[in-house]
Homo-oligomer: A and B are copies of this chain.
Amino acid sequence: MTTAVPAPSSRDLPHPTPGEIRLEGVLHALSDPVRLRIVRELAAEGVPLSCSHFDLPVSKSTTTHHFRVLRESGVIRQNYEGTAKMNGLRRDDLDDLFPGMLDSLLTAATHQAGRHSGA
């Protein structure tokens, strides 16, 4: 009756349901360069990545903070896997809520990155 859930790890993290995801929150989450970079990398890899995979120009505490903002805004899904915390883009949820938006944003980010580095 109750949970036959294969809980590989007892630590659970709160995520917003699709209905709770707010566009403003998503945009705010993505308006920070560090977080935008995380999302771009996540999208580029296509698979969940551990926090430590990223080489960010901020401290560990700040990294935790940014990942939390992304999770609480509904952009990423986090779950523990041993000592590592895996981060995956909530692509399906976002695509369902805001069709095409994520791709447009990622394209825009890539486009802008090209403008600035490629000259």
Q: Which residues of A contact B (CB under 8 A)?
A: 19, 22-25, 27-28, 30-33, 36, 97-101, 103-105, 107-109, 111-112, 115
Copies of this subunit: 2
A32 to B106, CA, bound (A): 20
A19 to B104, CA, bound (A): 19
Given A24-B31, A100-B100, the answer on whether A19 and B107 have CB atoms closer than 8 Å is: no
A97 to B36, CA, bound (A): 17
A24 and B32: CB pair below 8 A? yes
Q: Which residues of B contact A103 (CB under 8 A)?
A: 104
Contact among B23, B32, B108 with A101 in the assembled complex (CB-CB below 8 Å):
B108
A105 to B32, CA, bound (A): 17
Q: Which residues of B contact A101 (CB under 8 A)?
A: 101, 104-105, 107-108
A112 and B97: CB pair below 8 A? yes
Measured CB to CB, the nearest residue on chain B to A27 is B31
